[in-house]
Structure 1
Amino acid sequence: MFDGIRKRVVSMWFPRLASDRALRVRPVDGPFALTLNTNNANRIYCLNAKAERQGLSCGMPYSDARIFCPELQSAPADPALDARFLHALRRWALRYCPWVGIEGRDGLVLDITGSAHLFSGEEPMLADMRQRLRRAGLSVRLGLADTRAAAWALAHHGEGSAVSEPGNPLAVLGSLPVAALRLDTGTETALQRLGLRTIEMLEAANRASLARRFGPALLRRLDQAMGRQPEQISALIEPPHYGLRMTFPEPIGLVADVMEATARLLDRLCSRLAENAAGARILSLTLYRVDRAAQTVELRLARPLRDAPRILPLFEREVGDVDAGFGIDLIRLEAVEVAALPSEQISAIATERTTRLDDLINRIGTRIGIENVQRFLPADSHIPERAFSLSPAFANDPKGGWASPRPRPIHLFAPEPITGSGSYPPDRFRWRRMSFTTAHATGPERIAPEWWLEDDNWRTGLRDYWKVSTRQGRRLWLFHTPQHPGWFVQGEFP
């Protein structure tokens, strides 16, 4: 910071952020409240101005609020959506300065040092903030001071005095209650009992006595407000943007030219992904023609990748089908979806095996759609038909193998009845117009139906499964139904 430039901070507090957000989507004429279930009780989470004028307050039970205000309208609160809305407001506030941070769950803090002159001064800047937020339907209270703590105190407790003169914070903060120093409830109550009700009284008190009684936290808060101790503003870092473009002095139309341009963009994009330890899952290549038409080629990958030589050939088939018209003068490549891809120390054999499988899935996916390349995954069920599930190969990364206490046939089909005779299981039986003689049998394995699920194939009840090896060389999976005696074949082992 240059000499002579004093730091200036704006605290932007939205006292009714949640209710204002909800009313922007669905306006309500009358008292309105958002409710949140806390400790098995439905309580008021946020109110609009009309509900506050009825004597309602945040934290009171919703049933009590309805007694005081029968015409109260309500809706469930969504803190996650409120947080997203606050982050959107933070991005909007970047119009005033490049350093904006989040203050709690309903506030922003802006370091406007050196930025006020762009709006003809501090007062016009604050007036512009109020006007734009009021037009957006948001209630806001602003505080401007030399320190973050002083600005917060003015925004939350400053009434009409929202601006502190540079270099003299006590002139405005002195009359504010000690709660404006962001103290915990216990410390605030103890100070009130000692008669220290304002910041001015606290500033005039003996510091050694305050330190012995309340510890260093109280004096740290006071010094931060007076500017004797610094307090940093932690601005959120914008996520990296993975989008690149290339323009051409003359339109191009050959597939080789488009692929060469894509290769150059892809090299730069993969370098950016590597810097952030990320890999692309979905890539979008947009080709802009000279007649203002645009065509997009989307590439979905089985695994996050940042290896340009492996990705580039996957674009060739789709790029070859693009109609270049009178030529393409701009190409844009963007990683629409990225995922973490940290560096790993793995063996060369494992790397080659995984790479070849992923490349195969990617090549097939470019032809039939990556979501149509599916794999079997184990499911938590002892019912044979439900012991697996189909899932897109790119959407999961299975680890380990199938674990089953009993072997299951690789070829599984719908139960087919057989006719047999002899012992249990049958010594001789006929299936698919073929006769078989049992050489060896293992079992039984009793499987009961899952009563909480509806399945017509299991309405016969219990099943006793046998693994039967026949003299004819077939290894079959048979089962018997005790409730309705009968034998069936449901699978075949290799």
Structure 2
Amino acid sequence: MKRRIVSIWFPRLPSERVLRRRPIEGPFAVTLHEGNHDRLHCLNQAAAALGLERGMGLADARAYVPDLVTHPADRHGDARFLALLARWATRYTPFAGLDGDDGLILDMTGALHLFGGEEAMLGDLKARLARAGLSARLGLADTRGAAAALARFAPGIAAEGETAAALSRLSVAALRVAPATVTTLKRLGLDTIADLTALPRASLARRFGMELLERLDQATGARGEAISPLAEPPHYGVRMNLPEPIGLKADVTAVLARLLARLCDRLKAREAGARGLVLTLSRVDQSDAIAELRLARPMRDATRIARLFERSLDKIDAGFGIERARLEAIDVEDLPAEQIGAGGAVKGEALDDLVTRLGTRIGLDNIRRFQPAESHIPERSFFMAPAAWSKPEGHWTAPRPRPLTLFTPEPLLSDQAAQSRNPPARFTWRRIGLHTARAEGPERIAPEWWFDDPDWRSGLRDYWRVETREGFRLFMFHTPQAPNWFVQGQFA
């Protein structure tokens, strides 16, 4: 029986995943922070129709489309969503797996007749995805490589036994080779797969190596290519049936300790850690009491987790008694073994526990940390990231000291000439009369031309650190182009 493979490509998966939860009318883009720049990672159809492209800088995109709505990329969330789609695709075939980070591959050999044939099956698949708010391009062929090529370059069906003919008109980029190889092939005039197959294989191997020939053979069916279905994830859940109903907090805590010990042993065996835990307590009246804990870091230390559960257990209502308990890790991540310090603790775990305790009160996403950024402009030398989903990165580096408090530049009033390049001896700031006691500077900072920042359109700035007789330590600057003095920060 001839193999029949279906490839599903989601060209706008990151943006459509966000829009499923919060629909937005108009241009929308998911941005990715790379180095010190935000770039467009994925666009919706409205943004693409206005001329925006993937990889464009966010500042340039806002110059073209001022009302562009953006959201930061979450690659971990995108991967989880794609894995969920692979689970859903098992309704068509048990051989459903991932195809990169934006596609699925389905082995439908011998199962297409169950859905009314090839066209009916693809139509049903596309209709269901459309109802879920997902754009999908589908390809069906005898090989995995050919199906993926059709999905991305010419969506449709290659009839059984006509794979080579369907591929011949496609671009060489459809062979899943490196972009540099595609560029070289096109410079040599080899635009389509038909142009490639017309050349001697030996000369192609000498010029491009075996990877090109391997991809070509996989697409045409001369070489087999396996499809690995998505493995069933391990289940991290434990339960306990109690001989007698319990109701005291001490008893519930003891049950939780036993469940945590068993669950953490299972996590340790797989070098994994729990990010989220749910404790379900079944009462004798068939109702449930649920306690949930979100952790700032993956964890499998039963003693530490039990302490963090205390606040959630205080809210448990035992009713007429609890007869069953179930503990499940609902969010699990890899957690390899770590070096233990001299005091028997891993570095940073005390801070992680503090973030977790605060997160149970105000939410983990509301606790943020400052991360250093590569910029000499004071207000661009950092960015904020959720503390639970990030780690401290590097060290703060600045040519001169920076204040702990920065704000929008505020003009000061002085009876001296604003053209003076030295800080005024007397000035008024926030309706407070101040006198300069000591000043250190200047530090000249030029605008970053690749950012269109309205606050920096005035040009160069000469920064000074000014101490006043009244006790204020201010971060001030002078603008030589349009002479004036401003206060932008305050030292502690």
Shorter-chain TM-score bucket reads 0.5 to 0.7
Partner residue in 1 for 2:82: 89
Does residue 289 of structure 1 match 2:283? yes
Q: In the alignment, is the contact (CA less than 8 A) between 1:83 and 1:105 conserved in 2?
A: no
Q: How does 1:404-415 map to 2 (within 5 A)?
A: none
The alignment status of 1:164 with 2:158, answered yes or no, reads: yes
> Which shows bigger deviation, 267-276 or 322-331?
322-331
User: Hey, what does 1:208 align to over in structure 2?
Assistant: 202
Range with greater deviation from structure 2 (218-227 or 37-46)? 37-46
Matched residue type, 2:24:
P
Is the Cα contact below 8 Å between 1:283 and 1:300 reproduced in 2?
Answer: yes
Displacement of 1:33 in angstroms is 5.5
1:164-201 Cα deviation digits (max 9, x unpaired): 33444213222222221133445435544555433234
Deviations 1:24-74 (A, max 9, x none): 424224x6566668798876654444554556544567788789xx77742
CA-to-aligned-CA distance 1:98-130 (integer Å, 9 cap, x gap) = 555444443333444566566455433322221
Report if the CA contact (8 A) 1:244-1:269 is conserved.
yes
1-side partners of 2:38 and 2:47: how far apart? 17
Q: Does 1:334 align with 2:331?
A: no
State the match for 1:153 in structure 2. 149
Offset, 1:223: 0.7
1:465-494 deviation digits (Å, cap 9, x = unpaired): xxxxxxxxxxxxxxxxxxxxxxxxxxxxxx
On the 8 A contact 1:304/1:338 being kept in 2, the answer is: no
- For 2:30 and 2:315, the matched residues in 1 are separated by 53
| Paired residue secondary structure (1:334) | strand
Question: C-alpha deviations, 1:245-271, integer Å up to 9, x for none?
Answer: 3457x8734879978976775564244
CA distance in 1, matches of 2:309, 2:38: 54
**1:318 Cα deviation from its structure 2 partner:** 10
Q: 1:92-241 maps to which residues of 2 (within 5 A)? A: 92-97=85-90, 98=94, 100-113=96-109, 116=112, 119-159=115-155, 162-192=156-186, 195-233=189-227, 240-241=234-235
Change (3 A) 1:147 1:87: farther
Answer with 142-151 or 101-110: which moved more.
101-110
CA distance 1:91–1:106, change in 2 (3 Å): same
Instruction: Classify the secondary structure of the residue corresponding to 2:285.
Output: coil
Code of the aligned partner of 2:324: L
Conserved in 2, the CA contact under 8 Å of 1:17 and 1:82? no
The one of 11, 14, 36 equivalent to 1:15 is 11
Query: Counterparts of 2:344 and 2:147 in 1: how far apart (Å)?
Result: 56
Amino acid of the residue matched to residue 206 of structure 1?
P
Determine the C-alpha separation between the residues in 2 that align with 1:300 and 1:64. 38
Q: Do the aligned residues in 1 keep the contact of 2:86 with 2:98 (CA within 8 Å)? A: no
Give the 3-state SS of the residue equivalent to 1:87 in structure 2: helix
- SS of the residue 2:88 aligns to: coil
Q: Does the C-alpha gap of structure 1 residues 55 and 307 become closer, same or farther in structure 2, counting only changes over 3 Å?
A: closer
Q: How far off is 1:87 after superposition?
A: 3.0
> Which has the higher Rg, Structure 1 or Structure 2?
1
TM-score normalised by L of structure 1: 0.54
1:28 to 25, 28, 34: 25
Q: How many angstroms apart in 1 are the aligned matches of 2:266 and 2:132? A: 37
Question: 1:469-484 counterparts in 2 under 5 A?
Answer: none
CA deviation after TM superposition for structure 1 residue 141, in Å: 0.5
C-alpha contact (below 8 Å) 1:144/1:154 kept by paired residues: yes
Identity between Structure 1 and Structure 2 (%): 50
AA matched with 1:164:
A
**1:142 offset after TM fit, Å?**
0.9
CA distance in 1, matches of 2:307, 2:57: 62
- Partner-residue secondary structure (3-state), 1:95: helix
Give 1:156 shift.
1.0
Paired AA for residue 174 in structure 1: S
Query: 1:274-423 residue pairs with structure 2 within 5 A?
Result: 274-278=268-272, 285-296=279-290, 324-335=318-329, 354=344
CA distance in structure 2 between the aligned counterparts of 1:40 and 1:354, rounded to whole angstroms: 38
Distance in 1, matches of 2:15 and 2:195, equals 36
- Cα gap change, 1:345 to 1:148, in 2 (>3 Å): same
| Cα pair 1:146 1:169 within 8 Å, conserved | yes
Shift of 1:231: 3.5
Once residues 191 and 71 of structure 2 are traced to their aligned partners in structure 1, the CA distance between those partners, rounded to angstroms, is 35
Q: Deviations over 1:198-243 (max 9, x none)?
A: 3234224321232233332221121111122234456666654422
SS of match in other structure, 1:126: helix
Letter in 2 for 1:85: D
- C-alpha RMSD over aligned residues: 5.9
Q: Kindly indicate whether the alpha-carbon contact (under 8 Å) linking 2:29 and 2:47 is maintained by their aligned counterparts in 1.
A: yes
> Where do 5+ consecutive residues of structure 2 fail to align?
346-359, 362-463, 474-492
Gapped regions of structure 1 (runs ≥ 5): 356-369, 372-450, 462-494
1:11–1:144 contact (8 Å) kept in structure 2: yes
> Does the aligned pair in 1 maintain the 2:6–2:108 contact within 8 Å?
yes
* CA 32–277 in structure 1, closer or farther in 2 if over 3 Å, else same: closer
Q: Please list the CA deviations of residues 4-43 of structure 1 after superposition, one character each: whole Å capped at 9, or x if unmatched.
A: 4x544332222233443455424224x6566668798876
Find the aligned partners of 2:130 and 2:217 in 1 and give their Cα distance.
34
Shift of 1:153: 0.5
